[in-house]
Structure 1
Amino acid sequence: MIDELAHLRPGHRGLADLFHDCLAKDQGAALDALPLDDRAADGPRALALDSMELLSIAGAVSQRFGLDLLGIDDYLLARRRFGDWIDLIIHGREKLAGTVDDGMVFFSSGSTGTPKPVRHHLDDLRAEIDGLIQGMGAPRRILSLVPSHHIYGFIFTILGAARAFPATPSSDHDGDALQRLDLRRQTPAALARQVQAGDWIIAHPGFWRLAAPRLAAMPQAVAISSTAPLDRDVAAQIMASGLIGYEIYGSTETAGLGLRRMDEPSFRLMDGWQRSAGEDEIHRADGRVADVQDHFIWDEDGRFRPDGRRDEAIQVLGINVYPAEIARLLETHPKVSKAAVRLMRPDEGDRLKAFVVPVDDLDPRSAQNLGDDLMHWCAQKLAPAQCPRSFTMGPALPRTGMGKAMDWVI
């Protein structure tokens, strides 16, 4: 719901702040009573969703949890308190358990950059996390630095907790209540003070890049990274600190495909996956082929290394972004004639940069003002990972003597 509302209200943090405040104060009852629409004039603080926002979020919740398959999704519009939605989701999941529809939907950016739904059967995801627990050892606690509605976060922080800390009949709440910690609102430096032996730390390369230099003499815990390639020097820092590091290779479309220790050059296929006849194909035992976006180099022992993407996507903050699509969007701005978007060089940063040819010739001050305007304009139209963090102005896009597009220095 937080993620969906962020798309509907760019820059609005009210819902996220409200949820985190209630959870931090253990005010579950307050969340249950929370009105979702804008009709409540008194009582608990309302989210004040208008009719279109409510319809959009209800549709996303229904699709993700499979309520539409049961024909009970209309109840989301009839029952407009947060606790009612939780009860309806639990009811729906109980009805779907053990059926062919017992799955979850996650959303991925396709080749056009448009989010697309991808359904995964829960048996496949449970088998993946069970194999990882068997191979890496069950966690003592799970420290999460990733959102749990993305497939990587879901497998490790939701299913991982459920499989490692199952609820007991005598407990009034899930068995993972004290063993799963959400640290997304803490600094990388704070992580080192909280890690204990046996923990699993679930994070993405952007976080590890910031945290790795601050790690020293760490307890023997497991550091896990996914969503994008991890720089080898960052991986070396993690391993040198005493943490046992692993990288997961996969995507929203495939879930986990490969696993390697951070000091290994290649991934081994996870249980349930096999190499196909094609160089870039992997399939399950039942013949289902993985929808992979990379080329592979295979080692003689059956391990593999990704060797560049097939589409035009690049990874920023662990998210697929499409620079050509962003450049085309910039060219719709009335003051922009041409635009190019690239990933910053390692010495410049790890975000996107843009080169813009203005419609009119600009003096340096006017160019700076246009760059500031474009940064604000992008923030209203794009997700944070898609927004360029540097704008360079010039009379023509950078090209080589042969006329090919080339990089530029910020």
Structure 2
Amino acid sequence: MKIHSHDTLTRVLRDLVSDELGRLRHTDPVAVAQTLKNDERLGPDGFGMDSFEFMTISAMVGRMFHLYDLGAEDYLLSRPTVTGWRNLILELSETDADTGADAGTSLAGPAHHVSFLSSGSTGERTPVEHSRPLLVEEMQFFQNLLGAPSRIFVTVPTHHIYGYLFGALLPDLYFGVHDDALDVAERRIVPLRGPALSRPRTAYRRSGTPAPGTGDLLIAFPDALARLLQAGVLPCPGLTVVTSTAPCPPELASRIRAGGSRLVEVYGSSETSGIGFRDADDSPYTLLPYWNRDGDALWRSTGQETRGGTPDLRVELPDWVEWFDDSTFLPLRRRDGAVMVGGRNVFPRSVESVIREIDGVAEVAVRLDATDDGARLKAFVVPVIAGDTDSQSYHTLETRIRSTLSGRLQSAEQPAVYTFGPALPRNSMGKLSDWDS
């Protein structure tokens, strides 16, 4: 069974390599991708990775596509290019997946499973395994819901679950996995990431680059939608937009819908995949048709034995939700305290712990700061010498904090705005309160 077209799997691997290398080097993954060549050797003697970076990234590829199930992970070392890895995964997906599987494992390898990294409740990344046939079933539902697009614009990396579902699996359902079905140009899949999100619509016309338009499908997240709205690309009549990874602010959703676009908000997580959707303002989410409610949990029939030995998949919801009936609901708040910044889960409590360790910091509070330009973190810092209100002292401490965090945290985890004062802001009940940034 061929799991992807050459073009799709190449995009997934390029996103994985550039995103992970950007994470390891604390640099922009979009900039890394611009210099990455598909046939260039990865590693110290090629793309400039050191041995640790190469082994880390090759291990991620093996884990995502379950090459370890088949004992085939060593082949990644002998084919150290994006093209080589793509061909290896496709070859393995088209062979009998039972061959080389561990004893007692009936279905193994990339044809049957795919794993994604979840940040979990502590900010520590952990792999989450999914059944590929169940993910395909989910995308078949959305294929029918969304209709056939002229082009698909993808603003998210395709090695994370949301990007993989809507930027890899869904396009292959629309355009086919056989490379003689459509050539790359005709597949009409347009990556739209990084600085391109701020490109004005007039600049698209001047450069000849296609802009999202009537009949197209845009796969996005709230921060990307805000930037496209500022750039004048949105709203757009006749454009279908899918957004996920974080709640879409109601005023943003309303502006997009009022401009004639169809906006479909998808609710889910790395652990559960898609759970529900809505396509109207102020409406609850509708549970996807194969999920069944069981209190605060969900289950679905898999039609086959899972690795846990049970024929049904049961998941816990990532949020506290309000149920209106057994098929409609509204998410209320995260169970794990995470917030979404730039399409990534960020844990303010973990960021506070890092800042609190820095010399000169007595106490700190970190919160989400939602602005018209998107959501970032903000921090309120109490210096060790709380009575010292000298602006130069604050500036020196802020510089020290920013320098420390740049080497320890990802960009999305680093507060964009700092406020200093003699004590953390509290309300009349003594509880921590918000502050103006």
Cα distance per residue 1:299-319 (max 9 Å; x no partner): 247311111222211222232
CA apart distance, 1:393: 1.6
Give the structure 2 partner of residue 281 of structure 1.
297
Alignment partners' CA distance in 1, 2:372 and 2:38: 45
Cα distance per residue 1:271-315 (max 9 Å; x no partner): 211111x1x222213532223211121224731111122221122
Q: How does 1:23-62 map to 2 (within 5 A)?
A: 31-32=38-39, 34-39=40-45, 46-62=46-62
TM-score relative to the length of structure 1: 0.87
Give the structure 2 partner of residue 319 of structure 1.
344
Aligned residue among 117, 121, 125 for 1:111: 121
Alignment partners' CA distance in 1, 2:436 and 2:179: 61
Alignment partners' CA distance in 2, 1:162 and 1:3: 22
Alignment partners' CA distance in 1, 2:216 and 2:121: 36
Aligned partner letter, 1:314: V
Are 1:356 and 2:373 matched, yes or no? no
Aligned partner letter, 2:53: E
Aligned residue among 261, 281, 286 for 2:279: 261
Aligned residue among 178, 181, 189 for 2:190: 181
Helix, strand or coil: the match of 2:313? coil
Alignment partners' CA distance in 2, 1:179 and 1:384: 31
Alignment partners' CA distance in 2, 1:118 and 1:156: 18
CA apart distance, 1:247: 0.4
Alignment partners' CA distance in 1, 2:32 and 2:25: 15
- Structure ranking higher on relative contact order (CA contacts 8 Å, 6+ apart): 2
Cα distance per residue 1:216-263 (max 9 Å; x no partner): 673412111111111111111111111111100101111111011033
CA apart distance, 1:125: 0.9
Distance 1:95 1:375, change over 3 A: farther
CA apart distance, 1:342: 1.0
Give the structure 2 partner of residue 224 of structure 1.
242
Contact persistence 2:166–2:219 (CA under 8 A): yes
Give the structure 2 partner of residue 9 of structure 1.
25
Helix, strand or coil: the match of 2:116? strand
Contact persistence 2:235–2:255 (CA under 8 A): no
Root-mean-square deviation (CA, aligned residues, Å) is 2.5
Alignment partners' CA distance in 2, 1:265 and 1:92: 44
Contact persistence 1:54–1:77 (CA under 8 A): no
Are 1:198 and 2:215 matched, yes or no? yes
State the identity as a percent: 34
Aligned partner letter, 1:184: R
Alignment partners' CA distance in 2, 1:81 and 1:236: 44
Alignment partners' CA distance in 2, 1:191 and 1:223: 17
Q: How does 1:223-242 map to 2 (within 5 A)?
A: 223-242=241-260
Contact persistence 1:339–1:355 (CA under 8 A): yes
Alignment partners' CA distance in 2, 1:18 and 1:321: 22
Contact persistence 1:266–1:303 (CA under 8 A): yes
Alignment partners' CA distance in 2, 1:139 and 1:264: 26
Give the structure 2 partner of residue 100 of structure 1.
107
Helix, strand or coil: the match of 1:163? helix
Alignment partners' CA distance in 1, 2:225 and 2:405: 27
Alignment partners' CA distance in 2, 1:392 and 1:106: 36
Alignment partners' CA distance in 2, 1:345 and 1:196: 28
Distance 1:16 1:93, change over 3 A: farther
Cα distance per residue 1:188-239 (max 9 Å; x no partner): 4546851232211010011112333535673412111111111111111111
Alignment partners' CA distance in 1, 2:177 and 2:424: 59
Mean alpha-carbon deviation: is it higher for 249-258 or for 344-353? 344-353
Contact persistence 2:380–2:418 (CA under 8 A): yes
Alignment partners' CA distance in 2, 1:345 and 1:141: 31
Alignment partners' CA distance in 1, 2:117 and 2:76: 20
Aligned partner letter, 2:435: W
Are 1:296 and 2:314 matched, yes or no? no
CA apart distance, 1:165: 0.2
Contact persistence 1:19–1:31 (CA under 8 A): no
CA apart distance, 1:371: 1.3
Aligned residue among 139, 142, 147 for 2:152: 142
Count of residue correspondences:
391
Give the structure 1 partner of residue 308 of structure 2.
none
Give the structure 1 partner of residue 229 of structure 2.
212
Contact persistence 2:150–2:215 (CA under 8 A): yes
Aligned partner letter, 1:359: V
Alignment partners' CA distance in 1, 2:376 and 2:391: 24
Contact persistence 2:22–2:32 (CA under 8 A): no
Mean alpha-carbon deviation: is it higher for 88-97 or for 116-125? 88-97
Cα distance per residue 1:345-368 (max 9 Å; x no partner): 658962111111223436211212
Give the structure 1 partner of residue 7 of structure 2.
none
Are 1:343 and 2:352 matched, yes or no? no
CA apart distance, 1:334: 1.9
CA apart distance, 1:19: 3.5
Give the structure 2 partner of residue 27 of structure 1.
none
Q: How does 1:114-125 map to 2 (within 5 A)?
A: 114-125=124-135
Distance 1:301 1:93, change over 3 A: closer
TM-score relative to the length of structure 2: 0.82
Helix, strand or coil: the match of 1:126? helix
Helix, strand or coil: the match of 2:316? coil
CA apart distance, 1:406: 1.9
Alignment partners' CA distance in 1, 2:41 and 2:373: 45
Contact persistence 2:70–2:97 (CA under 8 A): no
Contact persistence 1:217–1:242 (CA under 8 A): yes
Alignment partners' CA distance in 2, 1:64 and 1:136: 27
